[in-house]
Amino acid sequence: MITALKRIVRAGFVGFWRNAFVSIAAIFVMTVALFVIGATMMIDTLLGVSLENIQDKVDINVYFVPNAEQMDIDSLQRSLEALPDVESVTFTSREQALAEFTERHKNDEVIMQGLEELGDNPLGASLSIRAKETSQYEGIATFLEDQKAAEDPSKPLIDEVNFVKNKEAINKLTAIIQAVEKSTFIAMVILVLASVLITFNTIRLAIYTTREEISVMRLVGASNMYIRGPFMLQGIMYGLIAGVLALLILYPIVLYLGPATEQFFQFNLFNYFVTDFGYIFAVLVGTGIVLGMVSSAFAVARYLRV
Protein backbone atom coordinates (compact mmCIF):
# COMPACT_ATOMS: atom_id res chain seq x y z
CA MET A 1 0.00 0.00 0.00
CA ILE A 2 2.87 2.36 0.85
CA THR A 3 4.52 1.51 -2.47
CA ALA A 4 1.29 2.24 -4.35
CA LEU A 5 0.94 5.55 -2.52
CA LYS A 6 4.50 6.53 -3.44
CA ARG A 7 3.80 5.73 -7.08
CA ILE A 8 0.62 7.81 -7.05
CA VAL A 9 2.51 10.76 -5.54
CA ARG A 10 5.33 10.40 -8.05
CA ALA A 11 2.88 10.17 -10.95
CA GLY A 12 1.06 13.24 -9.66
CA PHE A 13 4.27 15.30 -9.58
CA VAL A 14 5.23 14.06 -13.06
CA GLY A 15 1.82 15.07 -14.39
CA PHE A 16 2.10 18.45 -12.69
CA TRP A 17 5.42 19.27 -14.39
CA ARG A 18 4.38 17.70 -17.68
CA ASN A 19 1.57 20.27 -17.97
CA ALA A 20 3.54 23.08 -16.35
CA PHE A 21 2.05 25.97 -18.34
CA VAL A 22 -1.58 25.07 -17.78
CA SER A 23 -0.76 24.20 -14.18
CA ILE A 24 0.67 27.68 -13.69
CA ALA A 25 -2.48 29.20 -15.21
CA ALA A 26 -4.68 27.23 -12.83
CA ILE A 27 -2.52 28.20 -9.86
CA PHE A 28 -2.56 31.87 -10.90
CA VAL A 29 -6.35 32.10 -11.07
CA MET A 30 -6.75 30.17 -7.83
CA THR A 31 -4.17 32.42 -6.15
CA VAL A 32 -6.15 35.50 -7.18
CA ALA A 33 -9.34 33.97 -5.80
CA LEU A 34 -7.68 33.04 -2.50
CA PHE A 35 -6.05 36.47 -2.28
CA VAL A 36 -9.47 38.08 -2.60
CA ILE A 37 -10.74 35.80 0.17
CA GLY A 38 -7.80 36.80 2.37
CA ALA A 39 -8.24 40.50 1.57
CA THR A 40 -11.94 40.19 2.37
CA MET A 41 -11.05 38.75 5.76
CA MET A 42 -8.74 41.71 6.44
CA ILE A 43 -11.32 44.27 5.26
CA ASP A 44 -14.13 42.68 7.27
CA THR A 45 -11.94 42.74 10.37
CA LEU A 46 -11.08 46.42 9.89
CA LEU A 47 -14.68 47.43 9.26
CA GLY A 48 -15.84 45.38 12.22
CA VAL A 49 -13.30 47.05 14.50
CA SER A 50 -14.33 50.47 13.16
CA LEU A 51 -17.97 49.77 13.92
CA GLU A 52 -17.12 48.53 17.42
CA ASN A 53 -15.00 51.63 18.09
CA ILE A 54 -17.82 53.92 17.03
CA GLN A 55 -20.36 51.96 19.03
CA ASP A 56 -18.10 52.17 22.09
CA LYS A 57 -17.98 55.96 21.72
CA VAL A 58 -21.68 56.35 21.11
CA ASP A 59 -23.75 57.89 23.86
CA ILE A 60 -26.79 60.08 24.27
CA ASN A 61 -26.11 63.66 25.24
CA VAL A 62 -28.96 65.60 26.80
CA TYR A 63 -28.41 69.35 26.70
CA PHE A 64 -30.44 71.50 29.09
CA VAL A 65 -31.53 75.09 28.67
CA PRO A 66 -29.14 77.54 30.39
CA ASN A 67 -31.66 78.49 33.09
CA ALA A 68 -32.61 74.90 33.98
CA GLU A 69 -33.01 74.25 37.69
CA GLN A 70 -30.43 71.92 39.20
CA MET A 71 -33.18 70.15 41.11
CA ASP A 72 -34.96 69.24 37.87
CA ILE A 73 -31.70 68.03 36.30
CA ASP A 74 -30.96 65.85 39.33
CA SER A 75 -34.46 64.40 39.17
CA LEU A 76 -34.07 63.47 35.52
CA GLN A 77 -30.63 61.99 36.20
CA ARG A 78 -32.06 59.76 38.93
CA SER A 79 -34.84 58.64 36.60
CA LEU A 80 -32.32 57.74 33.91
CA GLU A 81 -30.09 55.85 36.33
CA ALA A 82 -33.11 53.81 37.39
CA LEU A 83 -33.67 52.55 33.82
CA PRO A 84 -32.46 48.93 33.39
CA ASP A 85 -30.83 49.72 30.02
CA VAL A 86 -28.63 52.53 31.35
CA GLU A 87 -25.05 51.72 32.33
CA SER A 88 -23.93 55.18 33.49
CA VAL A 89 -25.00 58.82 33.51
CA THR A 90 -22.37 61.58 33.67
CA PHE A 91 -23.30 65.12 34.62
CA THR A 92 -21.50 68.16 33.15
CA SER A 93 -22.20 71.52 34.78
CA ARG A 94 -22.53 74.80 32.93
CA GLU A 95 -19.17 75.96 34.26
CA GLN A 96 -17.42 72.76 33.18
CA ALA A 97 -19.06 72.94 29.74
CA LEU A 98 -17.86 76.52 29.32
CA ALA A 99 -14.33 75.59 30.40
CA GLU A 100 -14.19 72.71 27.93
CA PHE A 101 -15.64 74.89 25.15
CA THR A 102 -13.10 77.61 25.85
CA GLU A 103 -10.23 75.11 25.80
CA ARG A 104 -11.33 73.71 22.43
CA HIS A 105 -11.64 77.14 20.83
CA LYS A 106 -8.90 79.04 22.60
CA ASN A 107 -7.14 79.75 19.30
CA ASP A 108 -10.27 81.05 17.59
CA GLU A 109 -10.28 84.80 18.18
CA VAL A 110 -13.79 85.31 16.80
CA ILE A 111 -15.38 82.81 19.17
CA MET A 112 -13.40 84.05 22.16
CA GLN A 113 -14.34 87.63 21.39
CA GLY A 114 -18.00 86.62 21.10
CA LEU A 115 -17.89 84.97 24.53
CA GLU A 116 -16.41 88.12 26.05
CA GLU A 117 -19.13 90.27 24.50
CA LEU A 118 -21.87 87.98 25.83
CA GLY A 119 -20.51 88.32 29.32
CA ASP A 120 -22.70 85.50 30.63
CA ASN A 121 -22.30 81.75 30.16
CA PRO A 122 -24.51 80.80 27.15
CA LEU A 123 -24.11 77.06 27.69
CA GLY A 124 -26.38 74.81 29.67
CA ALA A 125 -25.59 71.74 31.72
CA SER A 126 -25.71 68.32 30.08
CA LEU A 127 -25.97 64.59 30.79
CA SER A 128 -23.98 61.94 28.95
CA ILE A 129 -25.78 58.58 28.98
CA ARG A 130 -24.16 55.22 28.17
CA ALA A 131 -26.33 52.19 27.52
CA LYS A 132 -25.36 48.61 28.32
CA GLU A 133 -25.95 47.59 24.70
CA THR A 134 -25.99 49.67 21.52
CA SER A 135 -29.45 48.39 20.66
CA GLN A 136 -30.80 49.88 23.90
CA TYR A 137 -30.13 53.51 22.95
CA GLU A 138 -33.38 53.67 21.00
CA GLY A 139 -35.46 53.01 24.11
CA ILE A 140 -33.52 55.55 26.17
CA ALA A 141 -33.94 58.18 23.45
CA THR A 142 -37.67 57.48 23.37
CA PHE A 143 -37.82 57.94 27.15
CA LEU A 144 -36.08 61.31 26.85
CA GLU A 145 -38.34 62.46 24.03
CA ASP A 146 -41.36 61.57 26.16
CA GLN A 147 -39.87 63.58 29.03
CA LYS A 148 -39.36 66.55 26.75
CA ALA A 149 -42.87 66.31 25.35
CA ALA A 150 -44.31 66.27 28.89
CA GLU A 151 -42.51 69.48 29.92
CA ASP A 152 -44.31 72.66 30.84
CA PRO A 153 -43.84 74.97 27.79
CA SER A 154 -43.43 77.91 30.12
CA LYS A 155 -40.63 76.16 32.00
CA PRO A 156 -38.61 74.07 29.54
CA LEU A 157 -35.83 71.82 30.77
CA ILE A 158 -34.35 69.82 27.87
CA ASP A 159 -32.95 71.83 25.00
CA GLU A 160 -31.69 69.01 22.73
CA VAL A 161 -31.13 65.25 22.61
CA ASN A 162 -28.40 64.33 20.10
CA PHE A 163 -29.05 60.60 19.65
CA VAL A 164 -30.33 61.00 16.08
CA LYS A 165 -26.95 62.23 14.81
CA ASN A 166 -25.08 59.34 16.40
CA LYS A 167 -27.64 56.88 15.12
CA GLU A 168 -27.21 58.18 11.58
CA ALA A 169 -23.42 57.71 11.80
CA ILE A 170 -23.83 54.09 12.93
CA ASN A 171 -26.42 53.37 10.24
CA LYS A 172 -24.20 54.84 7.52
CA LEU A 173 -21.19 52.82 8.61
CA THR A 174 -23.31 49.68 8.83
CA ALA A 175 -24.61 50.32 5.30
CA ILE A 176 -21.05 50.79 4.02
CA ILE A 177 -19.95 47.54 5.67
CA GLN A 178 -22.88 45.65 4.13
CA ALA A 179 -22.16 47.11 0.67
CA VAL A 180 -18.46 46.21 0.87
CA GLU A 181 -19.24 42.70 2.10
CA LYS A 182 -21.76 42.18 -0.71
CA SER A 183 -19.42 43.41 -3.45
CA THR A 184 -16.44 41.40 -2.18
CA PHE A 185 -18.64 38.31 -1.84
CA ILE A 186 -19.75 38.63 -5.47
CA ALA A 187 -16.15 39.08 -6.66
CA MET A 188 -15.04 36.15 -4.52
CA VAL A 189 -17.74 33.86 -5.94
CA ILE A 190 -16.83 34.80 -9.51
CA LEU A 191 -13.13 34.14 -8.93
CA VAL A 192 -13.80 30.86 -7.13
CA LEU A 193 -15.95 29.66 -10.02
CA ALA A 194 -13.27 30.73 -12.49
CA SER A 195 -10.58 28.86 -10.55
CA VAL A 196 -12.75 25.74 -10.38
CA LEU A 197 -13.41 25.85 -14.14
CA ILE A 198 -9.75 26.40 -15.02
CA THR A 199 -8.59 23.64 -12.68
CA PHE A 200 -11.30 21.40 -14.14
CA ASN A 201 -10.05 22.05 -17.68
CA THR A 202 -6.44 21.61 -16.60
CA ILE A 203 -7.16 18.16 -15.19
CA ARG A 204 -9.17 17.34 -18.29
CA LEU A 205 -6.18 18.28 -20.46
CA ALA A 206 -3.90 16.18 -18.26
CA ILE A 207 -6.25 13.22 -18.71
CA TYR A 208 -6.26 13.74 -22.47
CA THR A 209 -2.47 13.92 -22.79
CA THR A 210 -2.00 10.73 -20.77
CA ARG A 211 -4.84 8.77 -22.38
CA GLU A 212 -2.44 6.20 -23.86
CA GLU A 213 -0.75 5.59 -20.50
CA ILE A 214 -4.19 5.24 -18.89
CA SER A 215 -5.11 2.60 -21.51
CA VAL A 216 -1.93 0.66 -20.73
CA MET A 217 -2.61 0.84 -16.98
CA ARG A 218 -6.11 -0.51 -17.56
CA LEU A 219 -4.71 -3.40 -19.61
CA VAL A 220 -2.27 -4.41 -16.87
CA GLY A 221 -5.00 -4.27 -14.25
CA ALA A 222 -4.18 -1.03 -12.38
CA SER A 223 -6.72 -0.12 -9.71
CA ASN A 224 -9.10 2.80 -10.10
CA MET A 225 -7.41 4.64 -7.25
CA TYR A 226 -3.99 4.23 -8.87
CA ILE A 227 -5.29 5.73 -12.12
CA ARG A 228 -7.33 8.53 -10.56
CA GLY A 229 -4.99 9.34 -7.65
CA PRO A 230 -2.36 11.35 -9.61
CA PHE A 231 -5.02 13.66 -11.07
CA MET A 232 -6.60 14.21 -7.66
CA LEU A 233 -3.15 14.95 -6.26
CA GLN A 234 -2.53 17.54 -8.98
CA GLY A 235 -5.69 19.41 -8.00
CA ILE A 236 -4.64 19.36 -4.35
CA MET A 237 -1.19 20.67 -5.34
CA TYR A 238 -2.77 23.56 -7.24
CA GLY A 239 -4.76 24.58 -4.17
CA LEU A 240 -1.85 24.14 -1.76
CA ILE A 241 0.54 26.22 -3.86
CA ALA A 242 -2.11 28.87 -4.54
CA GLY A 243 -2.91 29.18 -0.82
CA VAL A 244 0.76 29.65 0.09
CA LEU A 245 1.22 32.21 -2.70
CA ALA A 246 -1.83 34.15 -1.54
CA LEU A 247 -0.36 34.31 1.97
CA LEU A 248 3.01 35.46 0.58
CA ILE A 249 1.26 38.24 -1.36
CA LEU A 250 -0.80 39.30 1.65
CA TYR A 251 2.19 39.47 4.00
CA PRO A 252 3.97 42.57 2.55
CA ILE A 253 0.64 44.32 2.02
CA VAL A 254 -0.49 43.99 5.64
CA LEU A 255 3.06 44.78 6.78
CA TYR A 256 2.89 48.06 4.88
CA LEU A 257 -0.67 48.88 5.95
CA GLY A 258 -0.15 47.97 9.62
CA PRO A 259 1.00 51.39 10.90
CA ALA A 260 -1.63 53.22 8.84
CA THR A 261 -4.48 51.05 10.16
CA GLU A 262 -3.22 51.53 13.69
CA GLN A 263 -3.27 55.28 13.23
CA PHE A 264 -6.74 55.52 11.67
CA PHE A 265 -8.53 52.53 13.19
CA GLN A 266 -6.51 51.98 16.42
CA PHE A 267 -6.04 48.44 15.11
CA ASN A 268 -2.79 47.11 13.64
CA LEU A 269 -3.69 44.87 10.70
CA PHE A 270 -0.23 43.30 10.59
CA ASN A 271 -0.43 42.30 14.25
CA TYR A 272 -3.79 40.68 13.55
CA PHE A 273 -2.27 38.81 10.58
CA VAL A 274 0.59 37.51 12.72
CA THR A 275 -1.53 36.71 15.78
CA ASP A 276 -4.21 34.84 13.84
CA PHE A 277 -1.84 33.47 11.18
CA GLY A 278 -2.81 29.87 11.97
CA TYR A 279 -6.48 30.61 11.35
CA ILE A 280 -5.78 32.63 8.18
CA PHE A 281 -3.42 29.92 6.91
CA ALA A 282 -6.03 27.23 7.56
CA VAL A 283 -8.75 29.21 5.77
CA LEU A 284 -6.75 30.11 2.65
CA VAL A 285 -4.76 26.90 2.21
CA GLY A 286 -7.70 24.76 3.27
CA THR A 287 -10.00 26.54 0.82
CA GLY A 288 -7.41 26.13 -1.95
CA ILE A 289 -7.04 22.41 -1.28
CA VAL A 290 -10.81 21.92 -1.21
CA LEU A 291 -11.25 23.86 -4.46
CA GLY A 292 -8.50 21.87 -6.16
CA MET A 293 -9.84 18.57 -4.87
CA VAL A 294 -13.43 19.35 -5.93
CA SER A 295 -12.34 20.53 -9.39
CA SER A 296 -10.18 17.49 -10.02
CA ALA A 297 -12.91 15.16 -8.69
CA PHE A 298 -15.42 16.62 -11.15
CA ALA A 299 -12.95 16.31 -14.03
CA VAL A 300 -12.00 12.74 -13.15
CA ALA A 301 -15.63 11.72 -12.75
CA ARG A 302 -16.56 13.34 -16.04
CA TYR A 303 -13.67 12.37 -18.33
CA LEU A 304 -11.92 9.41 -16.70
CA ARG A 305 -14.13 6.35 -16.99
CA VAL A 306 -12.43 3.58 -15.03
Domains of the chain: 2-54+170-303 (no CATH), 66-156 (3.30.70.3040)
- Residue 56 CB neighbours (<10 A): 10
Convert the pLDDT of each residue in 195-250 to its tens digit. Answer: 777 777 777 776 666 666 666 666 666 566 666 777 778 788 888 999 999 999 99
Give the pLDDT of residue 226: 64
What's the pLDDT score for residue 1?
A: 59
Share of the chain above pLDDT 70, in %: 80
pLDDT of residue 255: 92
Predicted pLDDT at 217: 62
pLDDT value of residue 166: 64
For the chain, which residues score pLDDT lower than 50?
Answer: 306
Among 275, 269, 276, 272, smallest CA distance to 254 is for 269
